[in-house]
Chains A and B, each alone.
Chain A
Amino acid sequence: MTVSHDVLSHGVLSRDVLVVGGGPAGLSAAARLAAAGLTVAIADEQPELGGQYFRRPSPAVLRAHGDHRPEGGRLIARVRELGVDCLTGHLVWGVADDGRTLFATAPDGAAVRLRARHVIVATGAYERTHPFPGWQLPGVTTPGFAQHLAAADGTPVGRRVLVAGSGPFLLPVACSLLDAGAEVIGVAEAGHPYTPSLRATAALRHPARLRELAGYMARLARARVPIWQGRVVTGASGDDSVSAVTLAATADPSRPVGTFAVDAVCVGYGFRPQTELARLLGCEIRADAATGDAAPVTDAFGRTSRPGVYVVGEAAGIGGVHLARARGRLTAAHILAARGGGDRREIVRLAARTRALGRFTALGEALYPSPAALQDALVSALPDETVVCRCEAVTASDVRAAATDRAGGDLNAAKSWSRAGMGPCQGRFCGFAVAGLVRAARGGERGEPVFPARQPVRPVPVETLLALGEQEPEGDAA
């Protein structure tokens, strides 16, 4: 959608509130703030609002199967009815020197500056992946991609598919694949969350979660899909696309235990906050000891170390859709209160709800192996020839050599020497593994969890930069 000229003067859009990211958290915050009369804009790089969780099904799937998440459609409709400027197809990629103006690219390549008193970063999460030999082959994907293909487009990612990694998300993905007509040859889970039995797990204290997991397990059992626990993918092979996948014991990744014929492999170990924009805005970041991820430091209201900048939803820490929506509403209520409006009881109620949902998330996470420990184990067993940085085709041995011989165990120097993390994905998929390899090279001493964020956070067309230069220079030209 292109913004009409009355809201966009000289490529600058100014609003009370700018929300970056149109997923559950961003939509929830925007709806609350717009309902209170503030002017709000949402920018999202996707062609439609909804983020990943509320991604809209294609029209054909809607007609044939209906909306699998109708609450998402209702929330999007409400945001539009409330008059929020919905800048879909707009990629927010940088921050001006003033630290407040955001740079974006419109769908036609035009440059847009976005300004607001309150900036809400709701950039969501992306999938936690670990490199293995062959993971760069076509047909090896994230589970999330398979889920979108199945649920939103009604297309199975393959005919014979292995789903692997760790975390509760693997089960619904395997079920969606079955629904879309794929054969799921198995689900390989790195930990042992479902033994000795699902009933013995801590999830029993949360009947709703237990019911949900049990439902997926029953569906997989009916289709005779085995769930292999304590197994990780350690190799994929094929010519133009994947045709075989190898599993090993999580405890001994160097010893294969089986190889299977497949035409698609979906591997993911949960989700990571997408924090690049928050970091560009100067928000303080910490390394999460349990996950190994980088997460912005926020308080209960989503406030960061930068005044007027908030981080909500999965970008502030993984917690699921309910927590994301509650955090979005709580931040909105806090902003309204800070402006002299709002409702104290609303804040108290939402704060209690986010605390309860946070405890619920912690309980669920306790079932699965610590992502940080798993990453350390997998990185140390990584064969030298593994392509670690997909974009620049940098191998584990390249990174190890750069870290040891030339970088003196420094992450950024290792990046410079090896080129790992310098491609279009900007190290999102290799950064944590590269950091792990560099850490191992300096004897395990902890340091930065990943590369610093740089702008543009995504590659930007040259025409956007040219257009920025032609607009009035205000000391913020890129």
Chain B
Amino acid sequence: MSVTRITVDGEPVDATAGSSLTAAFVAARRWRLRDNPVSGEPRGPFCGMGVCFECEVTVDGRPGVRACLTRVVPGMTVETGAPVETGPPSVGTRP
């Protein structure tokens, strides 16, 4: 009953409501969540505790959300990859 459906990059993915969003990605073997903006290499969740920022995704239109600190909510919509340019950027990462 706790198995729910979320949308990842337009595709339906089974996930467990209340578990971490990274767990849903790992269970679905979706490791590549973004490409490094400098090298273009694939990146995926690394630390699982909010420190590395490698699992940033866009959740329900909000960019820069760390999947490891986010719990699965039924019906949530997730976009992996770099956020579309319309979202507000984060500051403090570039001098």
When A424-B93, A425-B52 are in contact, do A153 and B46 touch as well, CB less than 8 Å? no
Contact indicator per residue, chain A 212-252, by CB within 8 Å of chain B (1) or not (0): 00000000000000000000000000001100000000000
Q: Which residues of B contact A93 (CB under 8 A)?
A: 92
Let me know if A141 and B48 touch, CB within 8 A.
yes
The stretch of A193-201, A323-331, A367-375, A458-466 in contact with B is A458-466
**Any chain A CB within 8 A of the CB of B91?**
yes
> What residues of chain A lie closer than 8 Å to B95, measured between beta carbons?
422
A144 contacts partner chain B, Cβ-Cβ < 8 Å = yes
Bound together, the chains give a CA A155 to CA B38 distance in angstroms of 31
Q: How far is the CA of A137 from the CA of B54 in the complex (A)?
A: 11
A-B pairs with beta carbons under 8 A, tally: 148
Size range of the interface on B?
35 or more
Q: Are B90 and A142 in contact (CB under 8 A)?
A: no
A345 within 8 A of B: no
Q: Which B residues touch A456, using CB under 8 A? A: 91-92
Distance from B55 Cβ to chain A, minimum over Cβ atoms (Å): 10
Asked whether, in the complex, the Cβ of B20 is within 8 Å of the Cβ of A460, the reply is no
Chain A interface, >50% SS class: loop
A132 CB, nearest partner CB in chain B, Å: 13
Complexed CA–CA distance, A387 and B42 (Å):
13
In the assembled complex, the Cα of A241 lies from the Cα of B41 at a distance in Å of 10
CA distance A146 to B51 in the complex (A): 15
- A58-B18, A59-B17, A429-B51 in contact; A462/B88 too (CB < 8 A)? yes
> Separation in Å of the B54 CB from the closest CB of chain A?
7
Instruction: Assess whether B20 is in contact with A424, with CB atoms less than 8 Å apart.
Output: no
How close is A181's CB to chain B, nearest CB, in angstroms?
11
CB-nearest residue of chain B relative to A157? B26
Say whether B33 faces chain A, with CB atoms less than 8 Å apart. yes
A241 near B32: Cβ-Cβ < 8 Å: yes
**9 closest A-B pairs by CB:** A138-B44, A145-B48, A138-B31, A153-B23, A393-B39, A459-B90, A58-B19, A424-B53, A393-B38
